[in-house]
Chains A and B, each alone.
Chain A
Amino acid sequence: MIDRKALQTEKISGHSGPSPGLGMQRDYEVCKLVDTTTCIGCKACEVACVEWNDMPFGVTTFDNTYQTMPETRWNFWNLIKFNEHQREDGTIQWLMRKDQCMHCADPGCLAACPADGAIVKYTNGIVDFNQENCIGCEFCVSGCPFNIPRFNPGTKKVYKCTLCSDRVGEGLEPACIKACPTGCLKFGSKDDMKFIANERARQLKENFGMENAGVYDPQSIGGTHVIYVLHDATDPERYGGLPKNPTIPWSYTIWKWLFKPVLGTFALFGAVGVLLHYVAVGPRRPQPEPPEKEAEHGNGD
């Protein structure tokens, strides 16, 4: 269902000017659908991610839950978060959410990144890090509303889920999707996944009595290319730090792209200002000024 084609960049971090080749080809947005209501927490997706990306399996942390480790790592991009939520009637809801990069339509990491080409967003919606261009400043970590980019102190580069852009570019589905045994993970066009997600949410409402069931596709960052079906979409926070209204910090939007160039230019006007002063008003010389003929003598260094 995905065409075999080269990935076309739509946005490039730290880049002045348009993305080369933009608009040359038709492309549709891809999307990963995570149905938290059918996730059984088997962690097959975690293993598939580690396998496909050839990452060494690191030390796991046991903290009295089934969770493999507290957070994703630079070489562990896909983590099932296990959360116990107590309902008002005292019963426990056991929530499992596959945590990974959300591939935002308006990526905060990309907006924050100062390095040309270190982060790209393809026209199909995948946000990818190019480590060869990364300068290791970690601004992306601060720009991401989902706390996803992970720094490798050894190489001073940042890593995260690629949505298997290498597989998707070859017409394959991401590794985690392929491994999922329950069909809780689906992959396809954004339109199709939204349709399936909405249908599933409707089913949960009508057949399972979950009146708050809904789809998580936050519009505050233009939507994401990983969407969730949640038992209770009114409170995504209970799924282990899924923000209700994710936003990009002001520093990396209006400050970086408007105030920085404008104020920086004002500072450069300082150079223009002093030169104009030299031409219009002229220098202040030690008094009394020497007579005309020797004037250039007083102008020494």
Chain B
Amino acid sequence: MGTAIDRFDEKARRTFDSIGRTEVHRGELLRHPVYTRVLHWAVALFFFLALFTGFGIYLPWLFRWFAPIFGGGPLSRILHPYFGVAFVFFFFLQMLNWLAPMLWGPGDTKWIRNIRRVVSGEETLEPPDTGFFNAGQKAMFWEIVVGCTVYLITGIVLWMGARTFGALAVAISYVLHDISAIIMLGGIFIHIYLSTIGEPGTFHSMTRGVVSEAWAWTFHPAWYKKVTGRDPREDYEKARQRQNAPRGPN
């Protein structure tokens, strides 16, 4: 089964690479192929469409603000489930695409225990065993996997309503759907922050698909080692010496 997923992902990546382009310049590394980027932005688009159509229905205080964006309450109600299904669909493809690098390892538990130093900014260089994704990214990924499952099940119950599933099922789904949304809403701020101004150099991994080598040895040293074959710490030290040297060659 694992191989079937791998073959599917491989084929998709090849197909998308033949359509879209990724330019990798000197000093840069390919981070995300076209397929991953397209999936990411499809997920993002439908996430926000579902979020904003859901916002109006979520709270009475927000109804008059968010319902008009999508042509009023009734249309928001009609569109929201379709946006949600599209979000879950594209994230499902992304899940297949990222299943292998997202698997939890022993280094990840250590990373999570160390999170205080990461947040406080003391940890400038990631530990050497941080691979393609760090534990924070993996935690968010698996939260979305769980969240999407909850969305899908409770969403279908809310969509079809009490006529099909009974009043109790709707009342329970209503709460679970909200909890999932609240967690993802909190998570999206952290995600957007860390991928833009929080960790500069990250954003174009999802636009152009590339990152600088310095970015890679700083944030994902094990991945750097894997793709370049060089030691991340050594290259960092070399870069530091080059920088400290007065007017050295670039």
Interface residues of A (CB under 8 A from B): 13-16, 114-116, 133-139, 141-144, 147, 151, 156, 249-252, 255, 260-261, 263-264, 266-271, 273-275, 277-278, 281-288, 290-291, 298-301
Contacts and interface: CB of A to CB of B under 8 A. Distances in A.
B236 A116 contact: no
Given A264-B182, A277-B119, A151 B198 contact: no
A136 B77 contact: yes
Given A114-B63, A142-B162, A291 B243 contact: yes
A301 B204 contact: yes
Contacts of B178: 255, 260, 263
A263 B183 CA distance: 9
B167 A286 contact: no
11 contacts: A114-B58, A114-B63, A116-B60, A116-B63, A116-B73, A137-B161, A138-B170, A142-B167, A147-B167, A263-B179, A299-B197
Contact of A114 (B60, B163, B179): B60
B63 A278 contact: no
A139 B61 CA distance: 17
B153 interface: no
A274 B161 contact: no
* Interface bin, chain B: 35 or more
A290 B239 CA distance: 10
A116 B120 CA distance: 44
A83 B12 CA distance: 62
B97 interface: no
Interface of B: 56-61, 63-64, 67, 72-74, 76-78, 119-121, 124-125, 158, 161-163, 167-168, 170-172, 174-175, 178-179, 182-183, 185-190, 192-194, 196-201, 203-204, 207, 212, 214-215, 217-219, 236, 239-240, 243
Residue of B56, B63, B185, B199 with highest tally of chain A CB at under 10 A: B63
Contacts of B77: 135-137, 156
Contacts of A300: 200-201
Contact of A281 (B76, B119, B218): B119
Question: From DSSP, what is the main secondary structure of chain B's interface residues?
Answer: helix
Nearest to B241: A288
B203 A301 contact: yes
A1 to B, nearest CB: 35
Given A116-B63, A271-B189, A287 B182 contact: no
Contacts of A251: 171-172, 174-175
B244 to A, nearest CB: 8
A275 B120 CA distance: 14
Contacts of A141: 161-163, 167, 170
A90 B156 CA distance: 46
A7 to B, nearest CB: 22
Contact of B163 (A14, A151, A281): A151
Contact of B193 (A278, A285, A291): A278
A135 B168 contact: no
Given A142-B167, A264-B182, A255 B74 contact: no
A271 B197 CA distance: 13
A147 to B, nearest CB: 7
Contact of A299 (B73, B194, B200): B200
Contacts of B56: 114
Contacts of B172: 251
A286 B212 CA distance: 9
A266 B186 CA distance: 8
Contacts of A260: 58-59, 178
Contacts of A275: 193
Nearest to B214: A286
Contacts of A133: 73
